[in-house]
Amino acid sequence: MRFENSILQVVPALEAGGAERTTLEMTRAIVGAGGRALVATAGGRLAGEIEKAGGQVILMPAASKNPLVIVANRARLIRLMRAENVDLVHARSRAPAWSALMAARAAGVPFVATYHGAYDARTPIKRFYNSAMARADLVIANSQFTAAAVRRIYDPGERLVVIARGADLEEFNPDAISRDRIRAIGEKWRLGEESGRLVILLPGRLTDWKGHETAIRAARVLKQEVDTGVFPRFRLIFAGDSQGRRGYAASLMRMVSELGLEDVVSAVGHCADMPAAYAVSDIVLSPSTRPEAFGRVAAEAGAMARVCIAADHGGARETVEADITGFLVEPGSHAALADALGRAVLLGGEGRRAMGARARARISARYSTRAMCDATLAAYRSLLERTKSGNGVGA
Nearest residue to 239 (alpha-carbon basis) of 215, 220, 255, 258: 215
Identify residue 345 by its one-letter amino acid code. Answer: V
Residue 189 in any domain: the answer is yes
* Residue 395 forms part of a structural domain: no
Indicate the pTM of the whole model: 0.88
Name the DSSP class of 153: H
Q: Is residue 393 part of a domain?
A: no
Same domain, 382 and 243: no
Check: CB of residue 94 under 8 Å from CB of residue 133.
yes
Residue 312 has, within 13 A of its CA and on its CB side, a CA count of: 11
In a domain? residue 394 = no
Does residue 161 sit in the same domain as residue 42? yes
**Is there a single domain that holds both residue 249 and residue 112?**
no
Flag whether 12 is in a domain.
yes
Q: Do 190 and 230 belong together in one domain?
A: yes
Q: What is the pLDDT along the chain (395 residues), one digit of tens a residue?
A: 678 899 999 999 998 778 899 999 999 999 999 999 999 999 998 999 999 999 999 999 999 999 999 999 999 999 999 999 999 999 999 889 999 999 999 999 999 999 988 777 778 888 888 899 999 999 999 999 999 999 999 989 999 999 999 999 999 999 999 999 999 999 999 887 667 899 999 998 898 999 999 999 999 999 999 988 899 999 999 999 877 777 899 999 999 999 999 999 999 998 989 999 999 999 999 999 999 999 899 999 999 999 999 999 999 999 999 999 999 999 999 999 999 999 999 999 999 999 999 999 999 999 999 999 999 999 999 999 998 877 666 65
For residues 353 and 208, membership in a common domain is answered with yes
State whether 375 and 304 are in the same domain. Answer: no
CATH number at residue 282: 3.40.50.2000
Give pLDDT, residue 394.
65
What is the three-class DSSP state of 392? coil
Does residue 202 share a domain with residue 95?
Answer: no
Q: With contact defined as beta carbons under 8 Å apart, do 236 and 203 qualify?
A: no
Range list of β-strands (E), 217-368: 234-239, 265-269, 283-286, 307-311, 326-329
Largest interatomic CA distance in the chain:
72
**341 and 215 share one domain:** yes
pLDDT reported for residue 335? 98
**Structural domain contains residue 1:** no
Do 70 and 48 belong together in one domain?
yes
Beta-carbon contacts of residue 60 (< 8 Å; ≥ 6 apart): 40, 41, 42, 73, 76, 77
**Element containing residue 322 per DSSP (H, E):** none
Q: Strands, E, within the chain: which ranges?
A: 6-10, 36-41, 56-59, 88-91, 111-115, 138-141, 160-162, 198-203, 234-239, 265-269, 283-286, 307-311, 326-329
d(CA 335, CA 329): 9
Range of the domain at 107: 6-166+369-388
Q: Are residues 344 and 377 in the same domain?
A: no
Do 139 and 243 fall within a single domain? no
Q: Are residues 245 and 352 in the same domain?
A: yes
Structure letter (DSSP) for residue 208: T
How many structural domains does the chain have?
A: 2
**Burial of residue 274, with CB atoms counted within 10 A of its CB: 0-12 exposed, 13-18 middle, 19 or more buried:** buried
